[in-house]
Amino acid sequence: MEGEPKFKEEKQEFQRTSGIMRAAGVSREVEKEVLDASKESFDNQKKFSLESEKTPEEIEIINGILGKLQEFIKKYGGVMPPITPDHIHVCEYDTLPVEQRERIKSIRGRYDEDSQFVAVIRNSESENNLVFASRVAHELMHFCGFQSVTANPEKETWSFRVGGLVVAKKKDQKREMYFVDVDEAITEELMKRFDAECFDAIPALAKDLEDREKWIKKSVKGDKISYITTTTTKEESSMYYTTIRAQPYQYKEEREKLWQIINDICEKKPDDFKSEEEVFNVFANTYFTGNLLQTVRLIEDTYGKGFFRKLGEETKQPKE
């Protein structure tokens, strides 16, 4: 099929014991210490003080996603860590202290590379199973992405890669994240494909997927949406009002920028790529394998030498 990833026939001998796959710039002894510490964090998951019990449907969804994820990422050259439901921690938004709600703002999911877990914030009053599944799948893409630590002891600097993201730190300075927009755009595009290929195999999502499809069919634009949220409010008159909102996939602007880059590459190299999806597959392969050179060459052949570094600077953010 045109646009189908060409990486799925590659044999993967490497077995991940945690999210971290490599430590560079250090001795073998130090690398072993880094990998062992990561495995210890991975193997020893502890419940948060405010963590909620997963519902039977949430457990079904998590197991359904984990059961499909390895084969999905394998198409792009990825190797999945031995993730279990214990690595996914769920918190109910309404139970969080006010100051914590203020701090997380609109963030509803996170992959923590230091502690090797995924945290998902849910709102049982307004969010359905498809919302939960989308967040879990997105964060698990981060978890399964290529992860490495590179240290330079002489300059006292280090960098950490997760998928398409680079976190760098210099001595006595705060950590900074590069390629944030690109990383999130690729992650959500992967989640979209996983949604289309795998969500319908999870029984707990059947009704929400059916409701979404009905919404899409009756929509004037026929827009693709990620999920539907329903909010019920009570007015002073004791009347209840229900608001239904169709939510698009996340990171719309970031994904549009990514597809502009992909489109430009496709136009620049018509003999190398038959479709934009084939270019995306190269980006996805880099996301999972760490083979950065192939993506850098495509971008700099299209926009000129130094553009890749410029792209990283343009998407730089401080890491809290």
pLDDT per position as a tens digit, 117-166: 999 999 887 788 999 999 999 999 999 999 988 876 665 666 778 787 67
CA dihedral 99, 104, 110, 115 (to 10 degrees): -30
pLDDT of residue 298: 94
pLDDT of residue 229: 64
10-63: per-residue pLDDT in tens? 444 568 999 999 888 888 888 898 899 999 999 999 998 889 999 999 999 999
Collapse the DSSP code of 166 into the 3-class scheme (helix H, G, I; strand E, B; otherwise coil) and give the result. Answer: strand
B/e letters for 255-282, b = 16+ CB within 10 Å, e = fewer, are bebbbebbeebbeeeeeebeeebbbbbb
More confident residue, 75 or 175: 75
177-208: per-residue pLDDT in tens? 888 889 999 999 999 999 999 999 999 999 99
Least confident among 1-10, 42-51, 92-101: 1-10
Say whether pLDDT at 261 is over 60.
yes
DSSP conformational letter for 51: B
Say whether pLDDT at 237 is over 50.
no
pTM: 0.87
